[in-house]
Amino acid sequence: MSVSALLLERPGRWRPAGLAALIVVAMLPALPLFLTLFQGPDLPALKAARSFAPLAARSMATAAAGGLVSLLVGGFAGITQCLYRFGLAALFRFVMLLPLVAPPLLWAVGFRNLCRWHPGASFLFSGWSGMVSITAITGVPLVMLGTIMACNSIGNSQCLAARLAGGEKTLLRLVARQVFPVSLLAACLAACLTLSVPGPAMALGVKSAVSEILLSFSALYNLKLAALQSLLLASGVMVVMGAAMVFAGSSPATLLVSVPGKLDRIHHRGMSFAALVFHVAAAAIFVLLPCAGLVGPAFSSPFYPQVVNTVARTLGNTLFYAGGAGLLAAFMGILAVFFMGRFNKYRVAGFCFMAVIIALPPALGALGFAAAAAHAPAWADLLFRGGVSVCIVQGLRLFPFAALAGARFFASMPPSWVYAAEMQGVDFWLYTRKVTGTALLRIMAVSFLTGFLLSAADAGTVLLLHPPGAQNLPLAIFTVMANAPAGLTAQLSLVYIAAAALFLSAIMALERGLSPKRINNRPG
Amino acid sequence: MDLSERGFTLRNVSVCHNDRAILSGISCSITPGKAWGILGRSGSGKSTLLRLLAGLEVPDQGEIFLDGKLVSSGGKIVARPAQRNIAMVFQDLALWPNLTVLENVTLGRHGADMEARALRCLEQCGIRHLALRHPDSISGGEQQRLALARAIAGNPSYLFLDEPFNGLDLEIKQEITGYIARLAAENRITVLLVSHDPFEILRLCGNALVLEQGMIAGHGSLSTLLENPESGVIRAFRDVIDAASGSACPGYGHPPGRRFHAPAP
């Protein structure tokens, strides 16, 4: 069937309808959770949920403090990486992105070990202050990444004008003002993400909101209480994200998809040196320090057979959950890009909903699926009680990352390509295959790998949904953390970080060659 | 308005983008055989008009006829761009960077002799030797010629040029306008050129369509329009030519002192 390539550029009611359908599908796993609440009042659960509120507020305050630190550190790191040339910048970017693709639990284990060796470090790295540090560790790469993407919207001439007007100080102020909405959103997102992860709190011996939800479901077997607590936490997240999005306005949707490659980094004696020192310090505090907490115990007592055994036992499940989630996320992400197209209003609406989807606690979807599984017929076991359920819940939650990568790729192709195709009689399928084919495959690979890594790092969803005996590696670390020797946990954590580093380098290599080359009508 | 006449006929065509009127109820004819320059200030609707005629954009209201047949009407495209026998060179050239020069010309075109015809077009534009290169590895002037070769490979009756000379230096601009004039004459193609440069218009076009705030402010022979300038755009156009013909820099080779040297329609 001949479909016009203009489909990619034309507006239509199918765009908002498709986008809305996608958002509804992504929220679907949480639906059964709402339904359980409508089955009748449960006064003890309500009472217990009320006592949960102060804990949720405390968790949110901690997350906010961590978010603020990540905003300052990640924002400055992102801006300096875009504006200045300094030694080993690419390596620093890689090192500082690592915490994003490894479970926060691992860094918390590192901090816990560090505090055991040097009790003086407890002031910063244990208890609630440790939670702030973990939120900052997860948040810094997210804010840095968002800031770098937003910096792409700034041109060389704008930088030059700012420099002429008032030097580097003026430039930094103007760039910070330009990228602030995106950095702020990323910081809020990072705070919400850490808020929903149970591992770090348990490793640092803190009673957090999400660990309480886990307790209600797994230890007390009270789904209704867990549902109420999840919804309370989700309401808080929605308020924070809503306020951040209202403040940020529509600019993040435009800034995040701006075409890269316009800004040339310069070598400025003072600023390049400052950037280098800042990156050394940030990488040392946020990555190397927790890693040191893992390396020490890992090499002091060898547990190699147990490590090999645990990795071998969990490798298949880790790959299956992450692979399934990555595939679903990539597919949904490309669909989202197709529906949003180049239309800013759809992008703004789409990314707002997607930001909420990512920010919502993963427990919401996982518990919803668990509630549905309780009533599902036997023939649906594969879907509701098998490993597929983990893939579905994670994939539906992580697709916005794939959508963002896809939207950036789409924005880098000028609309005139489609117009030229239509003039030449090239239909949609031929255009997709021949003109965008190679790059599309690449973006699918980047989306898949991003979904894969983020999903592999999630222990919470797997904990709630995995079939008996089918743990993934982060969950195995989470399980052995309390009782096993510190050396074993540390070695398993290092194995995970090494594998994540490999995957991250693959993503970065693919991303580097992603943007299609633009051709300008200037003499070459 | 005679719908049986050849060429484009627009009847009460309007286009809005985000509740802003880009074109407001324009009616006119664009007859074949004569090169047309579409003039107007930035945002006056020139490129939108070109995309409407090409079938890349849908009019919100009104009808567009090509050779007496309805091709677009309010809210829908009746004949797709590929069915209108039109070619277009875009402002950014719209070359596909992952395809070779030859593939850029042949993609989507069928026929046993397509490759031979594409090579002939590349030959006509003087870039046959670059057939297996990729567009990003050739110079700006060669890219321009590739865009032209791609446009004429489909044997179009109309060639739409949407400010294709932006960013080119004077020498290459001269060369490319020369190519276009020659190709249009050899292949009996009617050129529609959108440009801000009076000399490009003067060099290629005998007729002009002047747009002001989405409405037609002038339409017909360029010489007549320049003799009796009713719109501000034409007056500004004439002032630029006057200044150039009175100066030591005659611009595009127009002899000093000869005003309104438009090609005969």
């009076």: which residue's tokens? B198
Taking only the tens place, the pLDDT of each residue in A208-232 is: 888 888 888 777 777 778 888 888 8
Least confident of A28-32, A331-335, A439-443: A439-443
Per-residue model confidence (pLDDT) at position A259? 66
Per-residue model confidence (pLDDT) at position A21? 96
Decide: B216 and B25 in contact? Cβ < 8 Å: no
Nearest chain B residue to A418 by CA distance is B94
pLDDT higher than threshold 60 for residue B117 = yes
- A151 three-state secondary structure: helix
Per-residue model confidence (pLDDT) at position A367? 83
Decide: A105 and A474 in contact? Cβ < 8 Å: yes
Per-residue model confidence (pLDDT) at position B247? 55
Residue bearing the bigger pLDDT, A381 or A149:
A149
Of chain A, the end-to-end C-alpha distance in Å amounts to 40
Q: B259 pLDDT band (50/70/90 cuts)? A: very low
Per-residue model confidence (pLDDT) at position A520? 46
Q: A248 pLDDT band (50/70/90 cuts)? A: confident
What would the two tokens of residue A499 be?
């594998």
Candidates A337, A466, A340, A339; CA nearest to A391 is: A466
User: For B214, phi and psi rounded to 5 degrees?
Assistant: 80, 5
Residues contacting residue A226 through CB under 8 Å, at least 6 positions apart: A213, A216, A217, A363, A367
The alpha carbon of residue A410 is apart from the nearest alpha carbon of chain B, in Å, by 14
Taking only the tens place, the pLDDT of each residue in A501-516 is: 998 898 888 777 655 5
* Contact assignment for A523 to B54 by CB distance below 8 Å: no
DSSP per-residue codes, A253-282: HHHHTPPS--PPPB--HHHHHHHHHHHHHH
Per-residue model confidence (pLDDT) at position B119? 93
Taking only the tens place, the pLDDT of each residue in B24-62 is: 989 999 988 889 999 888 888 888 999 999 999 999 999
Partnered with residue B160 across adjacent β-strands are B88, B192
Q: How far apart are CA B107 and CA B120, in angstroms?
A: 15
* Contact assignment for A519 to B136 by CB distance below 8 Å: yes
Per-residue model confidence (pLDDT) at position A522? 40
Sheet holding B76-77, edge to edge: B20-30, B8-17, B61-66, B69-73, B76-77
Of A10, A416, A519, the CB nearest to B135: A519
Q: B2 pLDDT band (50/70/90 cuts)? A: low
Residues contacting residue A211 through CB under 8 Å, at least 6 positions apart: A198, A201, A202
What would the two tokens of residue A330 be?
């990539």
Q: How far apart are CA A370 and CA A206, in angstroms?
A: 26
Q: How far apart are CA A361 and CA A201, in angstroms?
A: 15
* Contact assignment for B86 to A423 by CB distance below 8 Å: yes
Is A357 exposed, middle or buried (CB count within 10 Å of its CB: 0-12, 13-18, 19+)?
buried
Per-residue model confidence (pLDDT) at position A1? 63
* Burial annotation A76-101 (CB, 10 A radius, 16+ → b, else e): bbbbbbbbbebeebeebbebbbbbbb
Candidates A190, A454, A444; CA nearest to A321 is: A454
The CA distances from residue A113 to A16, A292, A486, in Å, are 50, 9, 7
User: For B191, phi and psi rounded to 5 degrees?
Assistant: -95, 135
The alpha carbon of residue A520 is apart from the nearest alpha carbon of chain B, in Å, by 6
Residue bearing the bigger pLDDT, A93 or A124:
A93
Nearest chain A residue to B167 by CA distance is A522
Per-residue model confidence (pLDDT) at position B253? 43
Q: Are strands B86-89 and B158-162 parallel, antiparallel or unpaired?
A: parallel
Give contacts of A428 with chain B, Cβ < 8 Å. none
The alpha carbon of residue A361 is apart from the nearest alpha carbon of chain B, in Å, by 37
Taking only the tens place, the pLDDT of each residue in A405-428 is: 888 888 888 899 999 999 998 999
Q: Give the count of beta carbons closer than 10 Å to the beta carbon of residue A273.
A: 14
The alpha carbon of residue B246 is apart from the nearest alpha carbon of chain A, in Å, by 30
Q: How many CA atoms lie within 13 A of A182 on its CB side?
A: 32
Domain range A13-294+305-512, its CATH number among 3.40.50.1000, 1.25.60.10, 1.10.3720.10, 3.90.1200.10: 1.10.3720.10
Of chain B, the end-to-end C-alpha distance in Å amounts to 21
Q: How many CA atoms lie within 13 A of B38 on its CB side?
A: 27
What would the two tokens of residue A409 be?
């790729």
Q: How far apart are CA A410 and CA A492, in angstroms?
A: 39
* Contact assignment for B136 to A522 by CB distance below 8 Å: no
Q: A175 pLDDT band (50/70/90 cuts)? A: very high
Q: Quick one: how far is CA A430 from the chain centroid?
A: 34
Q: How far apart are CA A328 and CA A397, in angstroms?
A: 10
Of A4, A430, A521, the CB nearest to B167: A521
Q: Quick one: how far is CA A109 from the chain centroid?
A: 20
What would the two tokens of residue B171 be?
């020498």
Q: How far apart are CA A491 and CA A304, in angstroms?
A: 8
Of A426, A435, A524, the CB nearest to B140: A524
Per-residue model confidence (pLDDT) at position B256? 41
Residue bearing the bigger pLDDT, A91 or B43:
A91
Of A423, A424, A521, the CB nearest to B140: A521
* Percentage of chain A exceeding pLDDT 70: 94
What would the two tokens of residue B62 be?
């009104």
* Contact assignment for B82 to A416 by CB distance below 8 Å: no
Mean pLDDT for B167-185 is 82
Q: B1 pLDDT band (50/70/90 cuts)? A: low
Of B97, B167, B168, the CB nearest to A516: B97
Mean pLDDT for A340-365 is 86
pLDDT higher than threshold 50 for residue B258 = no
The alpha carbon of residue B88 is apart from the nearest alpha carbon of chain A, in Å, by 7
Mutual angle of helices A387-411 and A304-340, in 10-degree steps? 50
Candidates A271, A288, A258, A264; CA nearest to A92 is: A288
Decide: A495 and A501 in contact? Cβ < 8 Å: no
Of A424, A437, A517, the CB nearest to B136: A517
What would the two tokens of residue A446 be?
């980047």
Interface residue of B98, B127, B137, B195 to substitute, partner A, most A CBs within 10 Å:
B98
Q: How far apart are CA B103 and CA B118, in angstroms?
A: 9
Decide: B179 and B148 in contact? Cβ < 8 Å: yes
Mean pLDDT for A22-32 is 89
Of A417, A518, A522, the CB nearest to B140: A522
- B58 three-state secondary structure: coil
Q: How far apart are CA A39 and CA B108, in angstroms?
A: 59
Taking only the tens place, the pLDDT of each residue in B64-112 is: 999 889 999 988 889 988 889 899 999 889 999 989 999 999 998 888 7
Interface size A-B, in CB pairs within 8 Å, comes to 105
Give contacts of A426 with chain B, Cβ < 8 Å. 107-108
Q: How far apart are CA A34 and CA A38, in angstroms?
A: 7
Q: B261 pLDDT band (50/70/90 cuts)? A: very low
Q: Are strands B36-40 and B190-194 parallel, antiparallel or unpaired?
A: parallel
DSSP per-residue codes, A448-511: HHHHHHHHHT--HHHHHHPPTT---HHHHHHHHTTTS-HHHHHHHHHHHHHHHHHHHHHHHHHH
Sign of the C-alpha dihedral computed for residues A285, A67, A198 and A473 taken in this order:
negative
* Percentage of chain B exceeding pLDDT 70: 91
Sign of the C-alpha dihedral computed for residues B155, B158, B162 and B165 taken in this order:
positive
What would the two tokens of residue A86 be?
């300094």
Nearest chain A residue to B158 by CA distance is A423
* Contact assignment for A523 to B169 by CB distance below 8 Å: yes
Q: Quick one: how far is CA A170 from the chain centroid?
A: 32
Strand (E) or helix (H) holding B17: strand B8-17
Decide: B37 and B195 in contact? Cβ < 8 Å: yes
Residue bearing the bigger pLDDT, A38 or A73:
A73
Do you know the residue count of chain A? 524
Interface residue of A409, A422, A521, A522 to substitute, partner B, most B CBs within 10 Å:
A521
Per-residue model confidence (pLDDT) at position A521? 40
pLDDT higher than threshold 70 for residue B260 = no
Nearest chain B residue to A344 by CA distance is B18
Give contacts of A6 with chain B, Cβ < 8 Å. 56
Per-residue model confidence (pLDDT) at position A523? 36
Average pLDDT value for chain A: 86
* Contact assignment for A425 to B97 by CB distance below 8 Å: no
Mean pLDDT for A345-360 is 87
Per-residue model confidence (pLDDT) at position A84? 93
Taking only the tens place, the pLDDT of each residue in B198-251 is: 888 888 888 989 888 888 888 888 888 888 877 788 888 888 887 877 654 444
Per-residue model confidence (pLDDT) at position A6? 87
Q: How far apart are CA B220 and CA B207, in angstroms?
A: 5
pTM across the whole model: 0.82
Decide: B233 and B41 in contact? Cβ < 8 Å: yes
Interface residue of A3, A424, A432, A442 to substitute, partner B, most B CBs within 10 Å:
A424
Q: What is the complex's ipTM, to 2 decimals?
A: 0.87
